Structure 1
Amino acid sequence: MLDLTNFDQNGVSNPNNNVFGLPSTEENADLIIINVPWEVTVSYRAGTARAPENVLKASMQVDLYDPDFPDAWKRGYYLQPTDRTILLKSDFLRKEAELYIDYISKGEELLKNQFMCRTIKEVNEGGAYLNNWVYEQAKGYYNQNKLVCLLGGDHSTPLGLYKAQAEKHGAFGILQIDAHCDLRKAYGGLVYSHASIMYNALNEVPEIKNLVQVGVRDFGEDEWEYIKNSDYRVITYFDKEIKERQYGGDTFKNIAEEIVSKLPKKVHISFDIDGLDPKLCPDTGTPVPGGFELDRVFFLFKKIVESGRELIGFDLVEIGIGETDWNANVGARALYKLCNLLAGSN
């Protein structure tokens, strides 16, 4: 067990230590952050595959004192080192996917091009490989009685974690913070697209009892039809709806408590950073005007714990890479709050 009795949380972070400057190891940390450097199917801007390494560096500047969970960090947080095999596979398949996306975006027919047929087959097989890799990682840590979460990478990455959680916890719900619904079926023919993560989760993980989406402001008609026909398995709080309620005098506290009331006893948080106002993470993969301030999202997360629900895990995805470390700075602070919520409430 990790002994942090003599660790100076007020001192300068040692860059040779793990995330947030903690002297944690895979063996002695209670909370493991699976590092998934993957962005094969991003349809606009790349960079998220290298977010975990940038977030690790930025995390050294995060003060450990959190008034909501002042001692949570003492349980030890450990971010896996980047798996170079996964990163290189992502880089290779990303180039393949770019060629394919460019081809179909011009209206070309897939079946007329054998090279493109082979390309999409390889990309889809790569997605299946990644899902299984994440599943095996999460399952292994659960077998060691660890708390498990995930840092991406794009939003396609946590499907394997959801499957491992289903085996560990049984029925649960997902609170999704996102500018997008991610309910497209095999978007552009890419089965495990970042735009299809929640469609895949709901179809492949029956233990997910419901999905509550918050902050959505960019979606397709097919996704709207999916929501309407889901028999309330999917409940979406659109960004426009939330803001119009507040313009009319409703408080975010009331809205947050209403959102939480729609969740079951066990909850996973899926936090796509593009759910925030783009000024906070401008280089995310698919930025959309609007969105939340970070403190509002933290307030909503805190309400989950206060409600007596059990937080079983989280994924934090789509943190971009820009000319400065601002994206990673915001990402590191989001990661720390999520870690404290998970460790402090379990």
Structure 2
Amino acid sequence: MVVPYGYEGGVSYGRGTAGAPADVIAASHYLELYDEVLDDEPCRVGIATVVQPEIPDTPDAMLASLEETTAALLDQEKFVVVIGGDHSITTGYVRALAKRHNHFGVLQLDAHADLRDSYAGSALSHACTMARIREITDRTLQIGIRSMSVEEARLAKSTDLSLCTMHRYRRGHFDLEAELARLPENLFITVDVDVFDWSVIASTGTPEPGGMLWDEAMEILETVFHSKTVIGFDVVELSHRESDPNSAFATAKLIYKMIGMRFIGREKAP
């Protein structure tokens, strides 16, 4: 079940995330249904999109609203995909999962560490998402990071966080399978599209150079979906831009592929 949730009250730089879910849904109508890697059509598992709920203006109310929305779908035993919206929304979904799973981990694909306890006077900024998530579960893995404060870097080192920078990843100094083995079987994935190189997705509020290429991301995700039981995911931080339909299309294809990996790819895993 796909939940569009175009909140952008937690952004700190570029805007446009409010319009992103509609862009992704519109682009999804033009995706080819057949996936050449899976040799199947992910749509056959059944994909439905709910009407975007009314989104409150305040961060606390927003999180409560998204928690309630995702919880209601989880109660119906739906697999929920949330399309953001800025990254601050993720905490609401994770809160709902925490009431249904005693033990789960979170994988973050992102250019930013998002470990600040507070940013610009708010503990619910998109720059604080992983700090809030780690208050719910400390079993986390962060991949693709290439922008963080000195305080975040020191925190990661002092607490031995599983955090892989793009610099480290590109030099082959990261064992994904070993890191996944440290995580629980149940895993939630949050994808901030600024993890990607601009040649893949350019329209995002806090862009960083040097991101993942498409095939790099697909290789990581295939390994994750084969290794773990993914209990949900969100894709956040796309920005609406009239001049860039490519980014919305790439995001729609990313979501479609992840759904395929979850339900069809796992069936075909060796």
Question: By the TM > 0.5 criterion, same fold?
Answer: yes
Structure 1 unpaired stretches of 5+: 1-31, 91-125
Q: Deviations over 1:77-110 (max 9, x none)?
A: 1222233x32xx55xxxxxxxxxxxxxxxxxxxx
What CA distance in whole angstroms lies between the structure 2 residues aligned with 1:189 and 1:35?
A: 27
Using the TM superposition, give the Cα deviation of residue 183 of structure 1 relative to its aligned residue in structure 2, in angstroms: 0.4
Q: Report the AA paired with residue 314 of structure 1.
A: F
| Higher helix proportion | 1
1: CA distance, partners of 2:17 / 2:230 = 25
- The answer (yes or no) to whether the contact 2:83–2:234 under 8 Å persists in 1 is yes
1:1-346 superposed matches below 5 A: 32-66=1-35, 67-68=37-38, 70-83=40-53, 85-86=54-55, 89-90=56-57, 126-203=58-135, 205=136, 208-230=137-159, 232=160, 234-245=161-172, 255-307=175-227, 309-322=228-241, 323-344=243-264, 345=266
**Higher RCO (CA-CA < 8 Å; seq separation 6+):** 2
Q: Which runs of 5+ in 2 are unaligned?
A: none
CA distance in 2, matches of 1:81, 1:326: 24
Report the Cα distance in structure 2 between the residues aligned to 1:50 and 1:343, rounded to whole angstroms: 28
Identity among equivalent positions (%) equals 29
1:244 Cα deviation after fit: 2.5
- Name the TM-score, length of structure 2 as normaliser: 0.92
Contact 1:180–1:218 under 8 Å retained in 2: yes
Give distance in 2, aligned partners of 1:127 and 1:215: 26
Deviation of 1:69 (Å): 6.5
Amino acid at match of 1:271: V
Computed over aligned residues only, the root mean square deviation of the Cα atoms, in angstroms, reads 1.8
Q: CA offsets, 1:9-44, max 9 Å, x none? A: xxxxxxxxxxxxxxxxxxxxxxx1121110112111
Amino acid at match of 2:189: I
Write the distance in 2 (CA, Å) between the matches of 1:150 and 1:264: 22
How far the C-alpha of 1:305 sits from its partner, in A, is 2.7
Is the partner of 1:185 in helix, strand or coil?
Answer: coil
Are 1:175 and 1:263, in contact at CA under 8 Å, matched by a contact in 2?
A: no
In the TM superposition, what whole-angstrom CA distance separates every residue of 1:200-221 from its partner, at most 9, and x where no partner exists?
1112x1xx24111111001001
Q: Secondary structure at the match of 1:79?
A: coil
- On the 8 A contact 1:312/1:342 being kept in 2, the answer is no
State the TM-score, normalized to the length of structure 1. 0.72
- Tell me, what secondary structure is at the counterpart of 2:32? coil
Give the secondary structure class of the aligned counterpart of 2:163.
Answer: strand
Equivalenced residue count is 264
1:262-295: CA deviations, max 9, x gaps?
4321111110000000222212010000011122
SS at match of 1:77: coil
Deviating runs (4+, > 6 A) in structure 1?
Answer: none
Per the alignment, in what secondary structure is the counterpart of residue 52 of structure 2? coil
Hey, what's the Cα distance between the residues in 1 that align with 2:41 and 2:47?
12
CA distance in 1, matches of 2:188, 2:96: 12
